Structure 1
Amino acid sequence: MQSVNDYYSAIQLRSDRWSALRAATGELSRDPSGRKAAALNKQVNELFDALALIERYWAFPGTQAFDHLRRQFEHGNLDDLAFGVHRVTRALTTGAYRRRHIPLDRDAADAEDHEDEAMLPPEARALARPYFEVIIVDDLNEHQERWLRNNVQRMRRSEDPFVYETVVVPSLEDALIGVLFNHNVQAVVVRPGLTLKSRAELPILKRYLNRAGGAEGIEGLKPEDYGPELCRLIAKVRPELDAYLVTERSVEEIAGLDLGICRRVFYNQEDFMELHLNILRGVQSRYKTPFFTALVEYSKQPTGVFHAMPISRGKSISRSHWIQDMGAFYGPNIFLAETSATSGGLDSLLEPHGPIKRAQELAARAFGSKQTFFATNGTSTCNKIVVQALVRPGDIVLVDRDCHKSHHYGMVLAGAQVVYLDSYPLNEYSMYGAVPLREIKHQLLKLKAAGKLDKVRMLLLTNCTFDGVVYNVERVMEECLAVKPDLIFLWDEAWFAFARFGPTYRQRTAMNAANALRERLRGPDQTKAWEKQQEKLKDADEKALLNARLVPPPDARVRVYATQSTHKTLTALRQGSMIHVNDQDFKGEVEQSFHEAYMTHTSTSPNYQIIASLDVGRRQVELEGFEFVQRQVEAAMSMRKAISTHPLLQKYFKVLTAGDMIPEEYRESGVESYYDPHQGWTDIWECWEQDEFVLDATRVTLAVGGTGWDGDTFKTQILMDKYGIQINKTSRNTVLFMTNIGTTRSSVAYLIEVLVEIAHELDDLLDDASKMERLAFEHRVKALVEDLPPLPDFSRFHDAFCGDPTTGEGDIRTAFFYSYDENNCDYLALDGSIREAMESGREVVSASFIIPYPPGFPILVPGQVVSEEILAFMRALDVNEIHGYRPDLGLRVFTEEALHGLLKKKLPKAAE
Structure 2
Amino acid sequence: MHLDFPVIIIDKDYRSESTGGLSIRALAKAIEKKGFEALGVTSYGDLTSFAQQQSRASAFILTIDDEDFREGRAEPTVASLRAFVKEIRCRNEDIPIFLYGETRTSVHIPNDVLRELHGFIHMFEDTAEFIGRYVIREAKAYLDSLAPPFFRALTHYAEDGSYSWHCPGHSGGVAFLKSPVGRMFHQFFGENMLRADVCNAVEELGQLLDHTGPVAASERNAARIFCSDHLFFVTNGTSTSNKIVWHSTVAPGDVVIVDRNCHKSVLHSIIMTGAIPVFLMPTRNHYGIIGPIPKEQFRWENIRKKIESHPFARDVKAKPRVLTITQSTYDGILYNVEEIKEMLDGAIDTLHFDEAWLPHAAFHDFYGDYHAIGADRPRCKDTMIFSTQSTHKLLAGLSQASQILVQDSQERKLDRDIFNEAYLMHTSTSPQYAIIASCDVAAAMMEAPGGTALVEESIAEALNFRRAMRKVEQEWGADWWFKVWGPDDLSEEGIEERAAWILKPGERWHGFGMLAEGFNMLDPIKATIITPGLDVDGDFADWGIPAAIVTKYLAEHGIIVEKCGLYSFFIMFTIGITKGRWNTMVTELQQFKDGYDQNLPLWKVMPEFLAKNARYAGYGLKDLCKQIHGIYAANDVAHLTTEMYLSDMEPAMKPTDAFARMAHREIDRVPIDQLEGRITSTLLTPYPPGIPLLIPGERFNATIVRYLRFARDFNERFPGFETDVHGLVKAVVNGKPVYSVDCVR
Normalising by structure 2, we get a TM-score of 0.72
Corresponding position: 1:864 with 2:698: yes
Any conservation in 1 of the 2:257–2:278 contact (CA below 8 Å)?
yes
Match of 1:101 in 2: 61
The structural deviation recorded for 1:798 is 5.2
Corresponding position: 1:684 with 2:498: yes
Corresponding position: 1:710 with 2:541: no
Q: Which has the larger share of helix?
A: 1
Match of 1:892 in 2: 741
Percent identical across equivalent pairs? 25
1:699 to 519, 526, 533: 526
Structure 2 distance, partners of 1:767, 1:299, is 54
Q: Deviations over 1:11-67 (max 9, x none)?
A: xxxxxxxxxxxxxxxxxxxxxxxxxxxxxxxxxxxxxxxxxxxxxxxxxxxxxxxxx
Structure 1 distance, partners of 2:625, 2:237, is 42
CA change 1:587–1:351 in 2 (3 A) is farther
CA change 1:760–1:145 in 2 (3 A) is same
Match of 1:323 in 2: 182
Match of 2:587 in 1: 753
Taking the TM superposition and a 5 Å limit, the aligned residue runs for 1:217-296 are 287-296=146-155
Corresponding position: 1:833 with 2:674: yes
Any conservation in 2 of the 1:819–1:825 contact (CA below 8 Å)?
no
Any conservation in 2 of the 1:844–1:866 contact (CA below 8 Å)?
yes
Structure 2 distance, partners of 1:734, 1:151, is 51
1:495 to 357, 380, 403: 357
Match of 2:459 in 1: 633
Q: Deviations over 1:764-797 (max 9, x none)?
A: 12999x9x99898557546557752242246556
Q: Deviations over 1:311-344 (max 9, x none)?
A: 2322213344552222222221112222214335
Partner letter of residue 424 of structure 2? M
Corresponding position: 1:603 with 2:461: no
Match of 2:482 in 1: 654
Corresponding position: 1:616 with 2:441: yes
CA change 1:463–1:560 in 2 (3 A) is same
Match of 1:388 in 2: 247
Corresponding position: 1:824 with 2:667: yes
Structure 2 distance, partners of 1:422, 1:286, is 48
CA change 1:159–1:775 in 2 (3 A) is closer
Any conservation in 1 of the 2:175–2:182 contact (CA below 8 Å)?
no
The structural deviation recorded for 1:130 is 5.8
Q: Which runs of 5+ in 1 are unaligned?
A: 1-84, 110-127, 135-141, 165-279, 522-555, 660-671, 802-810, 899-912
Q: Deviations over 1:539-588 (max 9, x none)?
A: xxxxxxxxxxxxxxxxx314110111101111111111101111338976
Q: Deviations over 1:118-166 (max 9, x none)?
A: xxxxxxxxxx9962789xxxxxxx98984676577587897689979xx
Q: Which runs of 5+ in 2 are unaligned?
A: 1-40, 70-91, 99-105, 121-130, 309-313, 504-516, 534-542, 603-617, 715-721, 732-737
CA change 1:777–1:570 in 2 (3 A) is closer
Any conservation in 2 of the 1:846–1:862 contact (CA below 8 Å)?
yes
CA change 1:683–1:150 in 2 (3 A) is closer
Structure 1 distance, partners of 2:293, 2:561, is 26
1:379 to 238, 257, 275: 238
CA change 1:585–1:420 in 2 (3 A) is same
The structural deviation recorded for 1:885 is 0.6
Corresponding position: 1:431 with 2:431: no
CA change 1:588–1:775 in 2 (3 A) is closer
CA change 1:419–1:162 in 2 (3 A) is farther
The structural deviation recorded for 1:465 is 0.7
Structure 1 distance, partners of 2:685, 2:136, is 53
CA change 1:601–1:368 in 2 (3 A) is same
Partner letter of residue 101 of structure 1? I
Match of 2:10 in 1: none
Corresponding position: 1:480 with 2:315: no
Match of 2:224 in 1: 365
Match of 1:168 in 2: none
Any conservation in 1 of the 2:323–2:348 contact (CA below 8 Å)?
no
Taking the TM superposition and a 5 Å limit, the aligned residue runs for 1:14-163 are 87-89=43-45, 93-95=49-51, 99-103=59-63, 131=95, 146=110
Match of 1:400 in 2: 259
Match of 2:78 in 1: none
CA RMSD of aligned residues (A): 3.9
* Paired positions, count: 597
Structure 2 distance, partners of 1:503, 1:390, is 32
Partner letter of residue 368 of structure 1? C
Any conservation in 2 of the 1:486–1:559 contact (CA below 8 Å)?
no
Structure 1 distance, partners of 2:278, 2:181, is 56
CA change 1:893–1:615 in 2 (3 A) is closer
- Which SS does the other structure have where 2:374 is aligned? helix
Match of 2:507 in 1: none
CA change 1:650–1:865 in 2 (3 A) is farther
Any conservation in 1 of the 2:288–2:566 contact (CA below 8 Å)?
yes
Deviates more, 1:89-98 or 1:465-474: 89-98
Partner letter of residue 490 of structure 1? H
Structure 1 distance, partners of 2:169, 2:198, is 9
Any conservation in 2 of the 1:566–1:576 contact (CA below 8 Å)?
yes
CA change 1:591–1:727 in 2 (3 A) is same
Structure 2 distance, partners of 1:297, 1:322, is 29
Match of 1:464 in 2: 328
CA change 1:651–1:883 in 2 (3 A) is farther
CA change 1:150–1:420 in 2 (3 A) is closer
Corresponding position: 1:848 with 2:709: no
- Which SS does the other structure have where 1:312 is aligned? coil
2:574 to 721, 740, 746: 740
Partner letter of residue 284 of structure 2? P
Structure 1 distance, partners of 2:658, 2:646, is 16
Q: Deviations over 1:670-708 (max 9, x none)?
A: xx54x347x673622475597211111011111124484
Match of 1:882 in 2: 725
Any conservation in 1 of the 2:242–2:269 contact (CA below 8 Å)?
yes
Structure 1 distance, partners of 2:260, 2:200, is 42
The structural deviation recorded for 1:474 is 1.3
Any conservation in 2 of the 1:392–1:416 contact (CA below 8 Å)?
yes
- Which SS does the other structure have where 1:88 is aligned? coil
Structure 2 distance, partners of 1:162, 1:509, is 41
- Which SS does the other structure have where 2:469 is aligned? helix
Structure 2 distance, partners of 1:326, 1:133, is 41
Deviates more, 1:311-320 or 1:95-104: 95-104
Q: Deviations over 1:732-780 (max 9, x none)?
A: 1111011111111111111111011111111112999x9x998985575
Any conservation in 2 of the 1:701–1:734 contact (CA below 8 Å)?
yes
- Which SS does the other structure have where 1:294 is aligned? helix
Taking the TM superposition and a 5 Å limit, the aligned residue runs for 1:571-610 are 571-584=396-409, 590-610=415-435
Any conservation in 2 of the 1:393–1:415 contact (CA below 8 Å)?
yes
Match of 2:19 in 1: none
Structure 1 distance, partners of 2:118, 2:192, is 40
Any conservation in 1 of the 2:227–2:374 contact (CA below 8 Å)?
yes
Q: Deviations over 1:599-647 (max 9, x none)?
A: 1110001011111111111111114111111111111111111112313
Structure 2 distance, partners of 1:467, 1:735, is 10
Corresponding position: 1:418 with 2:262: no
- Which SS does the other structure have where 1:338 is aligned? coil
Structure 1 distance, partners of 2:342, 2:304, is 15
Q: Deviations over 1:83-141 (max 9, x none)?
A: xx9823256534468643344789799xxxxxxxxxxxxxxxxxx9962789xxxxxxx
Corresponding position: 1:303 with 2:167: no
Any conservation in 2 of the 1:286–1:622 contact (CA below 8 Å)?
no
- Which SS does the other structure have where 2:331 is aligned? coil
